[in-house]
Structure 1
């Protein structure tokens, strides 16, 4: 996406384009103008947008006051939406968390750079939200108010977050490219030996880093019994089986600055064109199936039993989602989930 058109479109031009395209999604409008969503919001500063402190310590404290809201985290190929209350926030200089049954987030504060409060007039009334973007202007996390939210506290919350910045332009940095798969076949024996010794799933990325690989690169060379490449069509089959069997899952979607997690069952699948949609009370997932380039079934040993996941990647090597089974406390082994994953078709089977 071009970063140069920002200087050619004035804030007035951007506002005019937004006014003429009210039915177009902000992300799509921004792309058509060669901008980012953050540029669209910045152009409306002083109109229906206020610049706010983007640090998660400030945003999470404000979100807790707003009552029931919708939390949204996305990547290019997936949008993850959860309805609930922000509570039980754990700050940290490098990583923070929101931990509760409704909203479950892993936050990386250094990517929370640009913040906006929007109160946009629509045909359905005023739509209020807090939105955070990274240095490139790409969305990190959004908090949308709902009918049941504490709208009476909105002005007070925004005033507490406001930076006083009145500029309607925005300086952004070039977008960091997605890291392509990194493998080192010369270290395959070490990878497999150390993988077999894992006691916690969180040790895996440290192992990859030590071997100068990344997640997808390690998957591509590890082989059985650690990984099995699946047919991309296995994603729909997995979700259908999860729905039909009532198996509870943990479904992760995350960008550089925020990972959002749903834990529970899947009830309503509604495919539409390239999209597969989970449309459940309190949880929606919108997945672009045509963006799924690689899918892997992965097994990692832990002290609580094997942790089995299905993980999807886009053509650039970016992680779209991870899905695990939900088991009893203290046990990572979920037999029902394991049976679903075992039955999914492999990539070679599909080719045959």
Structure 2
């Protein structure tokens, strides 16, 4: 498939494909998501400018397709938002579709929470990169924003991969009619919130999974609730005065030194991807803080995270503590917990890490 889609509200005799090539000649290391933003189009529109044969459109039976990824063996799965890129490599096993097909779940080596209502388009993408030919499955929402990407690795069963793509290949070429990207949800006016009711509801939480329902009952967005509920449950972290770039840098250095295992959550409206383990190879490169470990990479553009908080939630298993990062729109972009399974109390080591972080960075 070879499609040229002009950028919205831009009149030009130069095709989008040509403008992309010109941009890449000027910035050869620019990622497609950033190139799309600079060109004023969605990532999917830009992807569809690839050469004929590079794209294989897939059916929208996304739940069945992701379930059958187990057959291909090892893959690398990438979920991201504008501020965070979360990459895990492993074997997806036991993925289950729930909610009448609207949701999906896997736990273990590949830990996912999927919200299929946000999935609209899927493609196999074949592209030439410095390391050779790269195959991926890429999924987008109705506005062309990338939700999830699944990459073939050296450990992938190539025959099973090809069979999976053939099984879910669309019968007809996809001619997408993209919708406008949704605007960020507006923040709630703090004056409209009954803070006493919020505090009481927060104090009686029994399960961290009930948190979103509690916010809905109190008609408050997440960040505003965190700001209002008070220091018994939340504390704002400030940027350190030394060379540390962000609270995330500080925390990663702490848990690496003390070998404290963590859980790292990154998501967007279509998916939340989770990794659990100990970090080792952490490295800041310019505006990005990176974890570069076997099986897990995290790339955090920390300068675009405007608010960092530690958050405590009651539960039947005791207090559950997290580090949370929010962007300028008030959207949560990263959550870090201590390693824990349901039914277990939180690690004392993790609680100690959070206390040290708060002592360093709370104003």
Query: TM over 0.5: same fold?
Result: yes
Superposition deviation, residue 76 in structure 1: 0.3
Instruction: Tell me what 1:337 maps to.
Output: 350
| Equivalent residue number for residue 242 of structure 2 | none
Q: CA deviation at 1:181?
A: 3.2
Please report how far the alpha carbon of residue 62 of structure 1 lies from its aligned counterpart in structure 2 after TM superposition: 4.0
Mapped partners of 1:165, 1:45: distance in 2: 18
1:128 and 2:135 correspond: yes
Unaligned runs of 5+ in 1: none
Matched residues in 2 for 1:52 and 1:162: separation? 4
Moved more, 22-31 or 290-299: 22-31
Q: Within 5 Å, give how 1:80-229 maps onto structure 2.
A: 80-92=86-98, 93-100=101-108, 102-167=109-174, 170-182=176-188, 183=190, 186-229=193-236
Query: Is residue 13 of structure 1 aligned with residue 26 of structure 2?
Result: no
Equivalent of 2:333 in 320, 330, 334: 320
Please say which of residues 59-68 and 104-113 is displaced more in the overlay. 59-68
Question: Contact (CA 8 Å) 1:36, 1:137: kept in 2 or not?
Answer: yes
Cα offset for 1:131?
0.4
Return the alpha-carbon distance in structure 2 between the equivalents of residues 98 and 56 of structure 1.
Answer: 15
Distance 2:131 2:106 in 1: 31
Measure, in 2, the Cα distance between the counterparts of 1:209 and 1:306.
21
Deviates more, 1:256-265 or 1:148-157: 148-157
State the shift of 1:17 in Å. 4.5
Alignment partners' CA distance in 2, 1:140 and 1:85: 20
| 1:147 match: secondary structure | strand
Structure 2 contact 6–16 (Cα < 8 Å) conserved: no
Is the Cα–Cα contact under 8 Å of residues 322 and 336 in structure 2 kept in the other structure? yes
Matched residue, 1:308? 321
Closer, same or farther in 2 for the Cα pair 1:248/1:347, shift >3 Å? closer
283, 286, 310: which one aligns with 2:299:
286
Contact 1:228–1:346 (8 Å) recurs in 2: no
Per-residue Cα deviation, 1:12-56 (whole angstroms, up to 9, x for no partner)? 934444556364321122222211111122334842101112443
- Kept in 2, the 8 Å contact 1:74–1:80? The answer is yes
TM-score (norm 2): 0.88
Distance in 2 (CA, whole Å) between partners of 1:340 and 1:347 is 11
- Distance between the aligned counterparts of 2:61 and 2:36, measured in 1? 24
Kept in 2, the 8 Å contact 1:253–1:261? The answer is yes
Q: Does 1:261 align with 2:274?
A: yes
Structure 1 residues 134 and 148, CA gap change in structure 2 (3 angstroms): same
